Structure 1
Amino acid sequence: MPRLAANLTMLFNEVPFLDRFAAAARAGFTGVEFLFPYDHPPEDVAEAAKTAGVQVVLFNMPPGDWAAGERGLACLADRETDFVESVERALIYAQALDCPTLHLMAGIPPAGLPRATALDLYAERLAHAAHRAADHGRTLVIEPLNDRDMPGYLLRTTGEAAEIIARVGAPNLGLQFDLYHAQIMEGDLTTRLRRLAPVIRHVQIAGVPDRHEPDGGECDPHYLLRVLDDIGYAGWVGCEYRPKAGTLAGLGWAKPYLAERHPGGA
């Protein structure tokens, strides 16, 4: 049976971030993920998760200057010091939150930089981050993003991700398989899930093409979750979508996979 994790960056936006942990628990989620926790002290985020009784299963390493358009530092040659510091900052949060898995964004290489050069630097920095994550007992994942939502992003397909993972060769480095991005860029999700099963460490789901609830798009979420069971995937499935009409109103598709709610509980 799949384990669904609420993505608190996109779900439960009806309340402030630190209140979303309890809201997710009340809805029946036992795991949560989010993009970036860095606007809050790690102890505050940890307390919110502990009080709600949910496990933090994934978040992203710092992406650089998001407002300026940076989407990761791993392929930016002039940001070596910032990259190293971002890895260490993420590991502080991972320890405080007891989070097993961290996502390292690849970044958008500057115009004119040869793709091969960007990939070389990316692989080098992935190796560093994977080594530091291993020192802390953490798994590192990389995620291809579609070029409609993230134009210019370095890592675009699951095939490219698998090549980089093999190139780096770190045992704690794996694939974050986002079904939404993969369907837009590649399709053939069942075959890809089966082929890449050995390197998949985290999965995310959303409806295609509008990134709303998974049951409102062109892919059947219940079928895909059965495929994950079939390939022996035992990890979490992050619900990283934008609710069409409120978080709770759109959770009907997920009810078979959520814990029973207890009146008066978290």
Structure 2
Amino acid sequence: MPRFSANLSMLFTEVDLIDRFEAARAAGFKAAEIQFPYDLDVETIRRKLVEQDLRLVLFNVPADDLLLGGEGLACVPEKQGMFREALALAVDYAKVLRPDAVNVLPGRCLDSARQTEYLSTFKQNLGLAADAFSPLGIKTVFEAINSLDMPGFIVDTGAKMLAVQDELQRSDIFLQYDIYHMLRMSEKPAEFILRHARRIGHIQFADCPGRGQPGTGTADWAALFSAIDQSGYDGWTGAEYKPSGATSTTLGWFNHYDNR
């Protein structure tokens, strides 16, 4: 079965972020990811990881107003200076925390007439990120987010991710494949993962619909986790779902599928 990491931005929210490291380790996780770790001092995070013998495998470059309904950062031509500042902050954290990968969220374009311009800006910024993280031995990843939950997102399908990767032709830029988002777009994640595993740097998941834990939607998790195993993908698989109750009560899937 896959190696599972706990997304501390979405799981164990019953306690403050600083206490979620301990909660994840107590639940049996050996790795964690955080969407945006910047509210915590980087040395505090490092100490928590050491104390809990926990590996931090992923975090995101800051994305400005993306989660508040805005366009975000990485694709907006007028925000390229802000992106460079955000990237510098992410690099400072990466130098200390040494994650496996750092995610660059493409963002969205709310003016369809500028779609091509926004996509071009994103590709430029994604290249800048790879230039910064590759010397540290850290993968640069980017993800598609479904355009039903987040209208205007400029990369919203597996095909669009592959197209960006094909155009850039860089061996240090990988896909972050989120099973929930691609199910939401009516894609077939098991088939995609089996076909493109070598191009994927990180996988995340939640059930669909609802974005809850496995078992709350219609996805076939035995088949999906088996496909990840069969594909040869060797990274971590991140639980990034909205727990239907206290996180500890939603981990039946983990206790069933995790190889501890």
TM-score range, shorter chain: over 0.9
Question: What does residue 235 of structure 1 align with?
Answer: 235
Question: What does residue 182 of structure 1 align with?
Answer: 182
Q: Residue type of the partner of 1:192?
A: F
Q: Displacement of 1:131 after TM fit?
A: 1.1
Q: Displacement of 1:198 after TM fit?
A: 2.1
TM-score normalised per structure 1: 0.93
Percent of paired sites with the same residue:
34
Question: What does residue 19 of structure 1 align with?
Answer: 19
Question: What does residue 101 of structure 1 align with?
Answer: 101
Question: What does residue 263 of structure 1 align with?
Answer: none
Q: Displacement of 1:114 after TM fit?
A: 2.5
Q: Displacement of 1:187 after TM fit?
A: 2.1
Between the aligned partners of 2:257 and 2:190, the Cα distance in structure 1 is 20
Q: Residue type of the partner of 1:187?
A: E
Between the aligned partners of 1:235 and 1:72, the Cα distance in structure 2 is 27
Q: Displacement of 1:259 after TM fit?
A: 6.4
Question: What does residue 161 of structure 2 align with?
Answer: 161
Between the aligned partners of 1:151 and 1:110, the Cα distance in structure 2 is 8
Question: What does residue 245 of structure 2 align with?
Answer: 245
Question: What does residue 133 of structure 1 align with?
Answer: 133
CA RMSD of aligned residues (A): 1.5
Which stretch shows the higher mean deviation, 234-243 or 130-139? Answer: 130-139
User: How do residues 1-266 of structure 1 correspond to structure 2 at under 5 angstroms?
Assistant: 1-66=1-66, 69-70=69-70, 72-258=72-258
Which stretch shows the higher mean deviation, 109-118 or 133-142? Answer: 109-118
Between the aligned partners of 1:220 and 1:159, the Cα distance in structure 2 is 22
Q: What per-residue deviation string (whole Å, max 9, x for no partner) do you get for residues 45-94 of structure 1?
A: 11111111110001110001357533531211111111111111101111
TM-score normalised per structure 2: 0.95
Between the aligned partners of 1:110 and 1:135, the Cα distance in structure 2 is 34
Which stretches in structure 1 are left out of the alignment for 5+ residues? Answer: 261-266
Q: Residue type of the partner of 1:235?
A: G
Which stretches in structure 2 are left out of the alignment for 5+ residues? Answer: none
Q: Displacement of 1:110 after TM fit?
A: 4.0
Q: Displacement of 1:256 after TM fit?
A: 3.2
Task: Name the SS of the counterpart of 1:164 in structure 2.
Answer: helix
Aligned residue pairs, count = 260
Task: Name the SS of the counterpart of 1:150 in structure 2.
Answer: coil
Q: Compared with structure 1, are the counterparts of its residues 68 and 8 closer, same or farther at alpha carbon in structure 2 (3 Å cutoff)? A: closer
Task: Name the SS of the counterpart of 2:215 in structure 1.
Answer: helix
Q: Compared with structure 1, are the counterparts of its residues 60 and 115 closer, same or farther at alpha carbon in structure 2 (3 Å cutoff)? A: same
Q: Residue type of the partner of 2:11?
A: L
Q: What per-residue deviation string (whole Å, max 9, x for no partner) do you get for residues 3-41 of structure 1?
A: 000010110011110100010000000000111001111
